[in-house]
Amino acid sequence: MPDVQQIIDRNKESLIIPDGISVISLDQEIIVFNEAASRITGYSEDEIIGKKIDLIFSSHSEDTNFISRAIKENISFNNQPIDIIDSKGKSKNVLASITPIVRDGKVLSVVFVFRDTKEMLKLAEEINEKTSELIDQKNKLDAIFNSNIEGTFTIDNDWNITSFNKSAEKITGYKKSEAIGKKCWEIFNSSICRNGCHMEQTMTKGKPMIGNEVEILHKSGRLVPIRVNSSILINNKNERIGAVETFIDISEIKNLSDHLTEVYRYENIIGRNKEIKQIFHVLESVSQTDSSVLITGESGTGKELAARAIHLNSPRKTKPFIAVNCSAYVETLIESELFGHEKGAFTGAIKSKAGKFELAKDGTLFLDEIGDLSLAVQTKLLRVLETKEFERVGGNKIFKIDARIIAATNKNLVEEISSGRFREDLFYRINVVNIHLPPLRERMDDFPLFVNHFIEVFNTKFKKDVRQFSSRAYDILTEYNWPGNIRELENVIEHCFVLCNGKIIDVDCLPKRLREKKFLPSQIIINPVNKVKETEKQLIISLLEKHKGNRTKTAEELNINPSTLWRKIKKLEI
């Protein structure tokens, strides 16, 4: 049987705060009185030790009989409602237990353990309130956990899944009830599961893994690309209890990326002539480097298309492609547009703004129509390109740049340099690799390909079934000089689609300027009819050779009727 001090020490160690504990001697004197007993009665330990129990029991109270019987008869009493008197003389109801302390069959003293019923009730109410708060908090956390757009799950140290949210169910196809308790690799079935996967790296090295892309096997059997983040899971004792992973389905992003990559593949840029094929080769080579590129050519020749092809076929393809039309801003604003500005830098700068150089971090910055920049802005741009550093307008913080620079212009920069309108040192900085896109009038052998391409595009857009241009309408198109190049051709064909209600676009659907053949004299000189006819003649000859003289297949590729082809053959004396 433990002694009295052991009982007191054990209760202190266990932090049994609500229970008042008093030890009463055979003479009914109080010999032990703990802190909880002092709190309930109002008596300090010094005030009550050595005093008779009458101090806390009314002299006429029958409750003292429990103490007397416990001492004399060695009887225990449990959960007895008893009234005691506190230090202010007020009666207080307590729930008490009275236990004799016995050694060698003799009662040595009695332990009186009591608890304030009002305090118990208040404590119970507080516990209920705290429990309700915890339940509410849990419900909120569950709601957040399950409403997260990212799939989220946790595992314990044995790789067993311990939680699995609704987004995880949607992405994997497995219900929470199917996933809980399973090993994570049994649900995700990735080719790298248990083979150096991100979660394995996190579990073994204790480090978070961010932005990994893997493919998992959906319950239905299809592959799903996901991007994942994982981190160690730690409890409130700072003990490692497993790991947590968030992941998101990137199928749509991958599809869009693949689509863009497909659209901007070099071989999908329309053109068969030798110059265009050489440009494809240069584009493919320059895409794998970070060298600055200058793309030159008239408006409408596809300079931005070439720039995007370089970006989307380069190692930077997952990073931003930021395009700036340098001719679209007045001189006072272009600097802010390129480098950003701080709040209050100038009138109207109501908040700080990042510039295009910041937005293009790790990606590509396309400076279109760079020849239109003023000399002052050219000077600042040159310094940025040389130092790889810049400051926002009105700021003094230095920003580092890591963006590939592609510039474009429709001007002859060599002439601009001679005229003093463009800095020679900036020209050499941006003109590491030059790609010149020829105008449409110099690549008329590709003209039928462009026409067929835009007919397909606008058939889809307008839900029509236009097959071709009439012979007369097509002749007008080939005789036109196309100063607006491919962009103008696209607009003309869209104009025709708006007006055409049949399967063949005739002359009356063409824009008025083409129907009336009001071409500029310079256009006629640059592109005489004889040159166009010779180009058309060579194209038909090459296609006839390709199809071994089969006029039907040749007409199909030209997107004209065989009868029209026959007339052209006769007309061109093929």
| E-state strands within 359-501 | 364-368, 389-390, 399-400, 404-409, 433-436, 468-469
- Tens of pLDDT, residue by residue over 231-252, are 998 888 888 899 999 898 887 5
CATH classification of 258-438, choosing from 3.40.50.720, 1.20.1250.20, 3.30.70.2390, 3.40.50.300? 3.40.50.300
Q: Determine which of 107-111, 115-119, 383-387, 508-512 has the lowest per-residue pLDDT on average.
A: 115-119
Task: Grade residue 435 by pLDDT with cuts at 50, 70 and 90.
Answer: very high
What integer pLDDT is reported at residue 416 of this predicted model?
93
Q: Provide the percentage of residues in the chain whose pLDDT is more than 90.
A: 40
DSSP 8-class letter at 324: E
**Would the pLDDT of 337 be above 60?**
yes
CATH of 4-122, one of 3.40.140.10, 3.40.50.150, 3.30.450.20, 3.30.70.150: 3.30.450.20
Count of CB atoms within 10 A of residue 516's CB?
Answer: 9
Instruction: Kindly tell me if the per-residue pLDDT of 463 is higher than 80.
Output: yes
Instruction: Look at residue 411 and tell me whether its pLDDT is greater than 90.
Output: yes
Residue 346 has pLDDT above 90, yes or no: no
The lowest-confidence range among 11-15, 278-282, 300-304, 486-490 is 11-15
pLDDT at 98: 93
pLDDT reading at 15 higher than 60: no
Do residues 308 and 345 lie in contact, with contact meaning Cβ atoms separated by under 8 Å? Answer: no
Q: Residue 449's pLDDT is what?
A: 86
For residue 298, the model assigns a pLDDT of 93
Is the pLDDT confidence value at 4 over 50? no
pLDDT value at residue 8: 47
Class of domain 148-249: alpha beta
Q: How many CB atoms lie within 10 A of CB 471?
A: 19
258-438 and 441-571 have identical folds: no
Average pLDDT over residues 446-452: 89
Closest CA to 337 of 320, 317, 321, 323: 323
Domain boundaries, the chain: 4-122, 148-249, 258-438, 441-571
Contacts of 418 (CB under 8 A, 6+ apart): none
Considering the domain 441-571 in this protein, what is its CATH number? 1.10.8.60
- CB 382 within 8 Å of CB 423: yes
Q: Which residue has the higher pLDDT, 553 or 138?
A: 553
Average pLDDT of the chain is 84
Give the confidence band of 142 by pLDDT, cuts at 50, 70, 90: low
pLDDT digits (tens, 9 = 90+) for 257-272: 554 444 445 445 666 6
Question: For 69-83, how does the pLDDT look when each residue is reduced to its tens digit (9 = 90+)?
Answer: 999 999 999 988 988
Give pLDDT, residue 76: 93
Q: Of the given ranges (66-80, 109-123, 544-558), which has the lowest mean pLDDT? A: 544-558
Report pLDDT for 130: 81
Lowest mean pLDDT among 133-147, 333-347, 384-398, 444-458: 133-147
Q: Is the model's pLDDT at 221 over the cut of 90?
A: no
pTM of the entire structure?
0.50
| DSSP symbols for 27-63 | TSBEEEE-HHHHHHH---HHHHTT-BGGGTS-TT-TT
**Alpha-carbon span 12 to 15, nearest angstrom:** 5
Mean pLDDT (whole number) for 217-243: 87
Query: What pLDDT was estimated at residue 64?
Result: 84
Render pLDDT for 352-372 as a digit per residue (tens, 0 to 9).
888 899 888 889 999 999 999
Q: For the segment 283-319, what is each residue's pLDDT rounded down to a tens digit?
A: 888 888 899 999 999 998 889 888 988 998 888 888 8
User: For 55-67, what is the mean pLDDT?
Assistant: 79
- For strands 321-325 and 364-368, give the pairing: parallel
Higher pLDDT, 422 or 253: 422
- For residues 212 and 7, the model is more confident at 212
